[in-house]
Structure 1
Amino acid sequence: MKSFDLIIRNEPTSEPIKIQIKVGMRDFSEVKLYIPKVNGKPSVLPNHRWYVYYYFRNPNTGKMDKFQDYCKINRYKTVIERKEVGTVWVNAYTTLLNQGLNPFVEASITPKVFEEKTYSIKEALQYAYDNKLGSWKVSTADDYRVRMNVFLEWVCVNKLEHEDIRDLKELHVIAFMNWLIKPLPKGRGVGGTSQDNYKRCLSGLFGKLVKDKITATNFFLEIDTKKDDPIKNKPFTGYQVKEIRDYLLIHDKQLYHFIQFVIFTFLRQREIIRLTVSDINLREKYLTVETKTKRKQVKKLVGPIVNFFEGINIADLPSKANVFTNTAKFEVWTASEKSKVDHFGHRFGKVKTHFGFNHEYGIYSFRHTAALDLFHSYLKKGFTEREVILKMLPITGHATETALRKYLRDVGGMLPKDYGEDYTLEF
């Protein structure tokens, strides 16, 4: 420790005041990340190892000795990843040195606080699932859990469940994705859209693992999948709607009311089964519902829906009771959203069988039917196409005019007028 004296004369006395000021020298240097380079660029070649280093004063010699730690940085494959991990370790060592770390003293603070925990493939995926769970809806959590478990089943069959997550290779991921679309019994026999959904879910989990530095690469991001062409539910004709109505009023009154909600509120099936008594404001004639985008949406109660609620004493019902259940009673239905939707889908399956409708028809067909009916009804009343679109936007819930126009085109609503007389060709 160096020092020097500062002398101050205190006037008018001639006696000086002597103050000794000590100037201390740091016992350690700045912590840095060593980055090997080739032709001036960072290198990740096998013999070019990255490490964190600093200098600390040797108490015996007074000289600064170099200390370095590879910190497992070289497990990571890219320059970006190594820089990110290296920066974390630089900050960690800087904090430890400032708090008393002394590499010459065994009892001082040690960097074990910052040691990496290793995860097996099974442990890592469960960690990712548990830590993302709070940001998901129940339906999303169920979807991720099912697809994660299918992947873990495949991992177990291939005796990989206890392997370090960082030892999972791209070839393993490719093999799993190929296994998904292989026909039974050698594969799972899923379609292109389902395979893409597996990729989406597992990529989300591995993205969390990469972000938390548990593994280095999200291989699922690099996998190409092909979605199936979606099957569009065909709209029903007016005659078919009337026949279905008459049938349901006799054989399944609750399903009749369920479909009324599809037609007159434009809610999806998953949104309808979420409805509880507390979501209904009969006095102001509106309901609130959690949509697929997780935001609450307000829907106007009109005609038949108002009549439905006025026919029951809703004020005496429990606020958490579901509007639609498997018992036709207003009570809390604790099943999963998927099983609730499937329940009403199976009930409508009996209707399809009765009338001979094929797989192109479903409950969702009524939403398309309702959109076409409104569209043509407004046109007949003399509104321009743009005016019709603007009137329908708050009814259907589409975010933009473009989205609604595309939807109407897809269900056959925006067909051109008869243009046969406009031709000049003779054929």
Structure 2
Amino acid sequence: MREIEFYIQSEPTNEPVKIKIKVGMRDFSEVKLYIPKVDGKPTVLPNHRWYVYYYFRNPDTGKMEKIKDYCKINTYKTVAERKEVGQVWVDSYTVLLNQGLNPFVKNSLAPKKEVNEFENATYSVKKALQYAYDNKLGSWKKSTADDYRIRLGVFMEWIEKNKLVNKDISELKEVHIVTFMNWLIKPEPKGRGVGGTSQDNYKRCLSGLFGKLVKDKIIPKNIIAEIDTKKDDPIKNTPFTGYEVKAIRDYLLENDKQLYHFIQFVIYTFLRPREIIRLKVSDINLREKYLKVETKSERKKIKKLVGPVLDWLEEININNLPSDAHLFTNLGSYFVWTATEKSKVDHFGNRFAKVKEKLKFNGDYGIYSFRHTAAMDLFHAFMKQGMTEHESILKLMPITGHASETALRNYLRDIGGMLPKDYGEDYTLEF
């Protein structure tokens, strides 16, 4: 291609504008048939050879060079035959040149394979896992993203220490993952010293990332999914008795009024501490007596406002507070609390730890204990009102937020809420 440059000058500026125009040049000439002649007439005499020729631009020199092909024309005996066959070859070469024939490039007319930038892409362990994290990030809540980031960071440190960071992801084997899992539960300094539940959470995190790599066809199999880890039986948040609840209430009313209202939300809305610290003024609808909250299993869930919780919200005149302010903060006032969710939950957990210490409750109790206490209290109250167990379960389900009767039954059974009636007189044994 040749370039032609010219300048334009226009008002109001006196600066000239330079414009380049690229003018196309054919890389080949018209195809012709060379016909040898004697005395001005075509001949088929020996040493007078017919051929097809054209000129093609040499890519190295940029000059047009003559290309000729005899095309077996000279095997024909008469002038008429050679003209007919020669014209066929002229037409054929014309078509081929227009379709990309280049005599200076080998196999220039071979079908060009579509280039796929991902087809031959390679991924190191580090690159692959970072890719999986980045591409799953948009589907996570911030707390989930933070959890994955921290656990992935620990794994990245381990693979770097073990010189696996630049290994192709397809070469990472189950034995590497098993070794990492075993390292997690070894006591420090030879390991990380985590418990079985935490180890299982690492496996869950990595399995989610490897699952993304399988889905995106980067690896053929999720090598983590089938690895067994031991999950601890979590320490239950033991429910409080009625006397214990009264003792805690009296202490909080005197020493930590905000924590008192925080626990009211646990009891009367069945929200988890992590959900309560997310609450903003804009999530509360006093007129319709409900709140909207981002929960563990749903993006937004509606909860009924009842009892003391509703009274407190009216007492603080919530409608006059800034809509983006959090209801519970580290200072007790209402503002946008920008700390991480974990630090917020830990803040209230630490405040309740002081209450436990003062009232001599052990580690089996926590803020979550109030949720269990409330569930048991309502279940037993419904039963005392004359409802059957099935009716009590159905009434309790929308309050606790359990998705099925089975899930709620299992929950109540785990926290000791479904103890059998006195069956002492039913025995026939004597011992």
Correspondent of 1:147 among 148, 151, 155? 151
CA contact (8 A) 2:281 2:327 kept: yes
How does 1:317-328 map onto structure 2 within 5 Å?
317-328=321-332
Q: CA deviation at 1:155?
A: 0.8
Amino acid at match of 1:211: K
Three-state SS of the structure 2 residue aligned to 1:222 is coil
The CA deviation string for residues 263-316 of structure 1, in whole angstroms up to 9 with x for no partner, is 011111111111111110001111111110133221111110111111112222
Whether 1:209 aligns to 2:213 is yes
How does 1:15-414 map onto structure 2 within 5 Å?
104-105=107-108, 109-114=112-117, 115-414=119-418
Three-state SS of the structure 2 residue aligned to 1:299 is strand
Q: CA deviation at 1:217?
A: 3.1
Residues 263 and 113 of structure 1: CA distance in aligned 2, closer, same or farther (over 3 Å) = same
Q: Give the whole-Å Cα distance in 1 for the aligned partners of 2:342 and 2:333.
A: 19
How many residues of Structure 1 are paired with residues of Structure 2 in the alignment?
Answer: 331
CA contact (8 A) 1:100 1:109 kept: no
Give percent identity, aligned residues only.
72
Residues 107 and 344 of structure 1: CA distance in aligned 2, closer, same or farther (over 3 Å) = farther
Amino acid at match of 2:194: V
Amino acid at match of 1:155: I
The CA deviation string for residues 51-75 of structure 1, in whole angstroms up to 9 with x for no partner, is xxxxxxxxx99xxxxxxxxxxxxxx
Q: CA deviation at 1:100?
A: 9.4
Q: Give the whole-Å Cα distance in 2 for the aligned partners of 1:196 and 1:409.
A: 24
Q: Give the whole-Å Cα distance in 2 for the aligned partners of 1:157 and 1:106.
A: 51
CA contact (8 A) 2:376 2:417 kept: yes
User: Which residue of structure 2 lines up, in the alignment, with residue 28 of structure 1?
Assistant: none
Three-state SS of the structure 2 residue aligned to 1:288 is strand
Q: Give the whole-Å Cα distance in 2 for the aligned partners of 1:208 and 1:403.
A: 29
User: Which residue of structure 2 lines up, in the alignment, with residue 3 of structure 1?
Assistant: none
Q: CA deviation at 1:135?
A: 0.7
Q: CA deviation at 1:170?
A: 2.4
The CA deviation string for residues 402-424 of structure 1, in whole angstroms up to 9 with x for no partner, is 21111111111111111111222
Q: CA deviation at 1:368?
A: 0.8
Q: Give the whole-Å Cα distance in 1 for the aligned partners of 2:111 and 2:375.
A: 73
User: Which residue of structure 1 lines up, in the alignment, with residue 82 of structure 2?
Assistant: none
Higher mean displacement: 401-410 or 241-250: 401-410
Three-state SS of the structure 1 residue aligned to 2:150 is helix
- TM (norm. structure 2) is 0.73
Q: CA deviation at 1:137?
A: 0.8
User: Cα RMSD over matched residues?
Assistant: 2.3
CA contact (8 A) 1:100 1:108 kept: no
Residues 222 and 421 of structure 1: CA distance in aligned 2, closer, same or farther (over 3 Å) = closer
Amino acid at match of 1:412: G
Amino acid at match of 1:252: D
Residues 106 and 209 of structure 1: CA distance in aligned 2, closer, same or farther (over 3 Å) = farther
Q: CA deviation at 1:225?
A: 0.8
Amino acid at match of 2:251: Y
Q: CA deviation at 1:116?
A: 2.1
Three-state SS of the structure 2 residue aligned to 1:298 is strand
Q: CA deviation at 1:166?
A: 2.2
Amino acid at match of 1:154: W
The structure with the larger Rg is: 2
Q: CA deviation at 1:328?
A: 1.2
Q: Give the whole-Å Cα distance in 2 for the aligned partners of 1:170 and 1:401.
A: 39
Three-state SS of the structure 2 residue aligned to 1:220 is coil
The CA deviation string for residues 77-129 of structure 1, in whole angstroms up to 9 with x for no partner, is xxxxxxxxxxxxxxxxxxxxxx9999922897454434422222111111110
Q: Give the whole-Å Cα distance in 2 for the aligned partners of 1:363 and 1:149.
A: 30
The CA deviation string for residues 17-36 of structure 1, in whole angstroms up to 9 with x for no partner, is xxxxxxxxxxxxxxxxxxxx
CA contact (8 A) 2:281 2:323 kept: yes
CA contact (8 A) 2:100 2:109 kept: no
Q: Give the whole-Å Cα distance in 2 for the aligned partners of 1:298 and 1:325.
A: 22
Amino acid at match of 1:331: F
Amino acid at match of 2:368: Y
Three-state SS of the structure 2 residue aligned to 1:154 is helix
Three-state SS of the structure 1 residue aligned to 2:302 is strand
Amino acid at match of 1:255: L
Q: Give the whole-Å Cα distance in 1 for the aligned partners of 2:392 and 2:408.
A: 11
Residues 248 and 418 of structure 1: CA distance in aligned 2, closer, same or farther (over 3 Å) = same
Q: Give the whole-Å Cα distance in 2 for the aligned partners of 1:252 and 1:197.
A: 34
Q: CA deviation at 1:169?
A: 2.4
- TM (norm. structure 1) is 0.74
